[in-house]
Amino acid sequence: MSASAPNEPVSYEADIKPLFRERDRSSMLSHFDLWSHDDVSDHATAILAQLERGSMPCDGAWPADRVEVFRGWMEQGRPV
Ligand code: HEM
């Protein structure tokens, strides 16, 4: 995965969905579907909080540049 530059357009389908492994999706399905744009949009604030804290995924925090890609997507209005 290559990190996006700060102002590069970020889309859910191309840049965000591929960050979530099958294991992430199945672990979190009782709360929301990480492979669904609408679910990730609805829960984006809680998801970002966990990613920043490093408490999710449960088996290892994301590197900071990957968290920044997620934040950039939120700031761009969470496009599909
Ligand atoms: C990038 C991947 C993941 C993201 C973004 C994520 C996000 C979150 C968020 C936002 C919550 C809080 C949910 C809420 O309180 O409504 C949560 C809870 C939780 N997650 Fe994840 N998660 C990820 C991967 C995983 C993985 C791999 C596991 C491994 C088992 C896991 C296990 C849990 C558990 C056990 C909770 C607590 C559920 C509860 O309180 O009922 N998550 N996660």
- What are the tens digits of pLDDT across the range 14-65? 999 999 999 999 999 999 999 999 999 999 999 999 999 999 999 999 999 9
Closest Cα to atom 20 of ligand 1: 28
Looking at ligand 1, which residue's alpha carbon is closest to its atom 36? 28
> How high is the pLDDT of residue 7?
64
Q: What residues flank ligand 1, with Cβ below 6 Å?
A: 20, 23-24, 27-28, 31, 43, 46-47, 50-51, 56-59
Q: Quick one: residue 29, left, alpha or beta (phi over 0 = left, psi -120 to 50 = alpha)? A: alpha
Mutate to test the pocket of ligand 1, among 12, 16, 31 (most ligand atoms within 8 A of CB): 31
pLDDT of residue 8: 79
